[in-house]
Chain A
Amino acid sequence: MFKYFIMVFASVTSLLGLCKPALAADDISVLDGFKLGGYSSAGIVLPRDASAQAAVNELSLILTWQTDSRWQFFGELELEDPLQLNAAQGLTTRDAYLDLERFYVDYNLSEKINLRAGRFLNPAGRWNLIHAPPLVWTSTRPLVSDLLFPNSINGLMLYGSVPVQDYAFEYTLFAETLKDQIRDEDETIYKDVFGARFTLNAPINIGLSLASYQEDHALSPNYRLVGLDFVTHIGQLELSGEGFVRLTNKGQDGGSGAYLQSAYHLGHEWYWLTRVETFDHPRTGSAERWLIGATKRVAPNQLLKLEFIGGSGDYAESPRGFIGSFAVLF
């Protein structure tokens, strides 16, 4: 099934590339609603206690379709770890794999009520929703935004936006209807996922995330997740943070974590980054992370990131040491 999706995605993408230039400028056809974009990033990692590595981290293609109708389509296919260079293996593509990140259709019932069906990002917190390297200030992701809940969900979503004075209040309700069929590397598979997210887009952008789910094994408790996040701008400073608490259905600790991040505009599109985070997981224990770095916005769609990471605990997702990367959105 997964291969079938990929083949359809690739075929549609290729055909669009061939067909679009042949269309007359004034003809409005279904194909005119398609847009193709994507992003990619590459970088080097110099871990404190392992060998250095350079890699192309991902190449992601985004295909959207939107016309004047109330239907729209979104698809994102990602080639993960397509190329790596390290002392042990040399130049290798052996860790590369394809991941269907998102694949859904939306139907607009009204401005306040939209329906989504397919595979979409779990709207838990802010980072998970904008996790693409060209959209985030750092090469590494806060642990709590990655390891405490499912990143994507196959199911249904109801979402909308309601004006509140000069701002927008947005809500999202979602439920999983089909658990993940493919396990990517050591990924945790979740099931019976449902939840909600509420955000107020005001000068301080505030979000509340709620979810219930369990891991896909017999002994997993049912988890209840509560998260708060915010982002605001004070002069040249962007301040953001997220915090999550996860409890089992019996009220026991199921993990928690939080981070606080600042990005200060130094001038000439250089930003000074600082982040502190804490993370606790029942299986892997607790960890702390601090990060300092500098990020240059080379162009509106390109980021060059340099960062040092320290702290306690070992997590492959957030190695301690130096990381440099370049990310582009296209």
Chain B
Amino acid sequence: MRLVMVKLWLLVGMLLGTGVSQAATAIESSVSAPVVAVVVSSNAAVAPVSTLAPNELRLIYWRKQHYWPNGLRIHATNLHAEHPLRLLFSDAVLNSLPNAQTDYWNGLYFHGVSPPRSLQSEEAVIRYVNDTRGSLGYIDACHVDARVKPILWIIHHQISTRAPEQLLCSKAN
């Protein structure tokens, strides 16, 4: 039994030793929280703004700000309430998780204000934002493509107006 344990220990040690360099990026990416990109359409005719202040993002997602400066109505989108990015975004931007916001949204509903539209996937967010005037959403920064343009980032729980210097994206992302 002891011999088997030693062999297993050696085997794990060898595997770890040889695989460290190749696996470093993937491990770092999976262990640290993903960078979230707040996106608008890359089509200038659809995009409501090209920059956004962090406190405006908060007001928009609390539905305290309803219009863009040019008068367009804001169409903010969320990912569904259990999505890991939704939890991360909600905690960083709204300082609370979706299940703690029930009273707040019920109260606003009573006054005719609905919470941001909830979508099922990041691809759905990209398509909606790309097509809908006045809309914005958020996705994993590794999934930003030509259809959307990031205007804010959430890095290590902080809202940043500057793009991360380096994005560690694995294929699994």
Tell me the A residues contacting B by CB distance below 8 Å: 35, 37, 39, 62, 64, 66, 68, 70, 72, 74, 108, 110-111, 129-130, 132, 134-135, 161, 163, 165-166, 168, 170, 201, 297, 300-301, 329
Contact = CB atoms under 8 A, between A and B. Distances in A.
A111 B74 CA distance: 11
Interface in B52-103: 54-56, 58-59, 62, 64-67, 71-73, 102-103
List the 7 closest pairs (A to B, CB-CB), nearest first.
A64-B112, A168-B64, A74-B112, A300-B102, A68-B73, A130-B107, A161-B64
B69 to A, nearest CB: 8
B112 A66 contact: yes
B106 A163 contact: no
Contacts of A134: 106
A248 B34 CA distance: 60
Interface in B14-44: none
B103 A135 contact: yes
A37 B109 contact: yes
B65 to A, nearest CB: 6
Given A66-B112, A108-B66, A297-B102, A168 B59 contact: yes
A35 B64 CA distance: 20
A68 B109 CA distance: 18
Given A68-B72, A111-B65, A168-B64, A329 B106 contact: yes
Interface of B: 54-56, 58-59, 62, 64-67, 71-73, 102-103, 106-107, 109-112, 114, 133-134
Given A64-B112, A72-B112, A300 B65 contact: no
A226 B21 CA distance: 68
Contacts of B103: 135
Contact of A161 (B59, B109, B134): B59
Chain A interface SS verdict (over half): strand
25 contacts: A35-B114, A66-B112, A68-B134, A70-B67, A70-B71, A74-B111, A108-B66, A108-B67, A111-B66, A111-B67, A130-B107, A130-B110, A132-B110, A134-B106, A135-B103, A163-B59, A165-B55, A166-B58, A168-B62, A168-B64, A201-B62, A201-B64, A300-B102, A300-B106, A329-B110
B109 to A, nearest CB: 7
A297 B109 CA distance: 17
Nearest to B134: A68
Contacts of A170: 64
Contacts of B71: 70
A168 B105 CA distance: 16
A135 B106 contact: yes
